[in-house]
């Protein structure tokens, strides 16, 4: 049985190589530098025309971390929502979040970073407990070995330099002095 299968494979394989190997193939060239594809861009577009949570980014650009709260059931969400996941109301308001919190968990990213962040590895990624919500964030100026769970951290706003024609911002955290 095995012998028969081996023979079949050999015959088929040999035949394929003979057929394809003798033909000229088209050449596909890749550019030396590949621009960041829009769909793989980690940061979403932030204008009113491109996202329904543009107010979050407007507030962040002004230095304020905010999120949505449902005025119907009082549920606080993070990330900000356009419809309350608890009661499905769209009566939401933006409220301020604290800019200081505690490190709830952390790890180091050594490989597999999102496109555009490859040059930053290794970097520390943490879950920050702000009290009302927990969120994951890039930790700047932080060495894994120097950190402990419970360490105080504070929010900072960074500008995103990228392939879109409008200003973009995002939040990161860093250890408090
Ligand atoms: Zn609700």
Distance from residue 102's CA to the centre of ligand 1 (Å): 27
Helices and strands, number each (H, E), in the chain: 2, 7
Domain boundaries, the chain: 38-175
Write out the chain's pLDDT in tens, 177 residues: 444 444 444 444 444 444 555 678 888 887 777 676 777 777 888 999 999 999 999 999 999 999 999 999 999 999 999 999 999 999 999 999 999 999 999 999 999 887 777 888 999 999 999 999 999 999 999 999 999 999 999 999 999 887 777 889 999 999 998
Interval between CA 74 and ligand 1 midpoint (Å): 6
Question: How far does residue 73's CA lie from ligand 1's centre (Å)?
Answer: 4
C-beta of residue 60 within 8 angstroms of C-beta of residue 46? no
With b for 16 or more beta-carbon neighbours within 10 A and e for fewer, the 102-123 pattern comes to bbbebeeeeeebeebeeeeeeb
Mind spelling out the 3-state secondary structure of 148-166? CCCCEEEEEEEEECCCCCC
Distance 93 CA to ligand 1 centre (A): 11
pLDDT of residue 42: 78
Separation of CA 46 and ligand 1 centre (Å): 24
Whole-prediction pTM: 0.77
Q: CB within 5 A of ion ligand 1: which residues?
A: 70, 72-73, 75, 84, 86-87, 89
Q: How far is the CA of 63 from the centre of ligand 1 (A)?
A: 27
């Amino acid at each position: 049985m095995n012998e028969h299968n081996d023979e079949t494979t050999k015959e088929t394989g040999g035949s394929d190589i003979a057929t394809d190997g003798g033909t000229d193939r088209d050449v596909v060239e890749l550019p030396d530098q590949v621009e960041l594809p829009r769909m793989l861009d980690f940061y979403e577009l932030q204008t009113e025309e491109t996202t329904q949570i543009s107010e979050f980014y407007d507030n962040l650009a002004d230095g304020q971390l905010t999120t949505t709260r449902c005025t119907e059931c009082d549920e606080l969400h993070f990330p900000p929502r356009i419809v309350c996941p608890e009661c499905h109301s769209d009566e939401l308001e933006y409220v301020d979040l604290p800019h200081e919190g505690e490190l709830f968990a952390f790890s180091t990213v050594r490989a597999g970073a999102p496109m555009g962040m490859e040059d930053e590895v290794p970097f520390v990624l943490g879950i920050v407990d702000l009290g009302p919500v927990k969120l994951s964030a890039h930790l700047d100026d932080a060495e894994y070995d120097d950190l402990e769970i419970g360490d105080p951290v504070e929010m900072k706003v960074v500008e995103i330099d990228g392939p879109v024609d409008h200003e973009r911002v995002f939040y990161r955290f860093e250890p408090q002095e």
